[in-house]
Structure formats: C-alpha cells, structure tokens
Structure 1
C-alpha cells in the first residue's frame, strides 16, 4: 500500500550526495497535518531543493569541472532539472486536480538522476 507524501518528505537523488526535503505550496491544497503533495509538485527550487553535490557527468557543470580536472570526476552543485511530473501518481486520489503523490513515485532529472521519496513525512498512528 502506497503512503501519501506530504510537505517535509525526505527525498534522495540517485546522483546527489545529500538528501533534501519536499516543499509543498499551500495553494488550494489538502492538509494532512502538513500540505499533501500531488504529482505536479515537481518544480526545481520551488518544490525540489538541491541535493548537495551532483556526480552525474550528464550535468554540464559536472562535465566541465571533470574535464578541467583531466577526467577526474568533480562533483558540482546538484540543482535538479525536473520538467515532467512525478510518476506514477495515485490512480484514485486527486489533490488540487492532479493525482496525489505516493511514496513509490519517482521523478526524473534531466541530468540523468532519479529522485525518490525515502521518508513520506506521514506515519501510521495506532490508537488504543
């Protein structure tokens, strides 16, 4: 069963060296303690902050720094480029007119990385 992702969820890019946290703007959204995310929460620097340093040579900054270092991989700032929404979204739950973001969803970066949710910022609470 997939969990709903909310603001503050921990994310990791496959080429980034540091985790990051999802930001969800409170514009016409559902609150689940914090803002519930949809697949449209994919905007770089708005929803998806940097992931420390990038190690992917498809990133032009990394490629240039690596070339300048005579082929030694030189990580550079990891600023994601995410032009398309998260996939897949929840098939039956809509948030702000778009499918809800699930912890199993993935987001592709134009530089070759894949961003995934490692902690959805929502927990199951057992009541007595």
Structure 2
C-alpha cells in the first residue's frame, strides 16, 4: 500500500549525486501527520524540488559543455532540476486541492533524463488505498 507524501519527503534523482527534500507549500490546507500533504502538481523546480548536488546527465547542457571542455571526460555540474510535467501517476482515489494526492510510488521526470523518486515519503502512518 502506498504512503502519502508530505513536506520533507526525501527524494533521489537517477543522475543526481545527493538526495534532496520535497518542499510543499501549505496552500491546499491539507496536512498529513503534521506537515503539508503533497499533490501531483508539487513539481516546480527550486520551489518544490530542490537540487540533487551535482548532475551527471550528458543531456544537461552544462554537463555537456564541461565534458567537452575536459576533452570528453564526464564532468558533473551543479544540479538545477528541470521538471516540467507533474508527478505520475499519483493516487487515483484521493485528491488534494482538486488534483490527485502524491504517493511514494509516483515519479517525476527531469528534462535532462533523470527520474526522480522517493526514498522516504515524509509520513509513516498515512496510507492511500
């Protein structure tokens, strides 16, 4: 059974070097075990999704430029998430602010090819059917 995701959930990116935390603004006025509960629209870079240390994706223009300057040696550069689409799939039966609730099985794709997923949902008791 999936767990509700809330503020402070731990994220990982397949091309990132470090974990990150999800930031959920309290605009929907729904809380899960204390912190604000997330929905699939909480995907905005540098607002909801913070950087993952350095990026190793050769599709990232800054990584590509640094790699070219290093004569082809992959050179990681600072991560700036580029998420343009919502988390998917979200919870099919629970809505928060008229959008599906975000559960720990959802993923979000970065424009540079990374897949962002959850390490820890931020809640331990709130399950989504």
Taking structure 1 as the reference length, what is the TM-score of the superposition?
0.96
CA–CA distance in 2 between the matches of 1:19 and 1:108? 15
Correspondence for 1:115: 116
Residue in 1 aligned with 2:72? 71
Task: Please give the per-residue CA displacement for 1:48-105, whole angstroms capped at 9, x wherever unaligned.
Answer: 0000000001000000000000000000011110000000010010001100000000
Task: Report deviation, 1:29.
Answer: 2.6
> Alignment partner of 1:42: what SS?
coil
Structure 1 stretches of 4+ moved >6 Å: none
Do structure 1's residue 29 and structure 2's residue 29 form an aligned pair? yes
RMSD: 1.0
CA distance in 2, matches of 1:67, 1:52: 21
Q: Which runs of 5+ in 2 are unaligned?
A: none
Task: Quote the residue 1:7 is aligned against.
Answer: 7
Whether 1:100 aligns to 2:113 is no
CA offset digits 1:11-50 (Å, max 9, x no partner): 0000000000000001123011100000000000000000
User: Following the alignment from structure 1 to structure 2, what is the Cα–Cα distance between the partners of residues 68 and 29?
Assistant: 48
CA distance in 2, matches of 1:4, 1:89: 10
Q: Please state how far the C-alpha of 1:124 moved relative to its aligned partner.
A: 2.8
The CA distance in 1 between the partners of 2:36 and 2:86, in whole Å, is 17
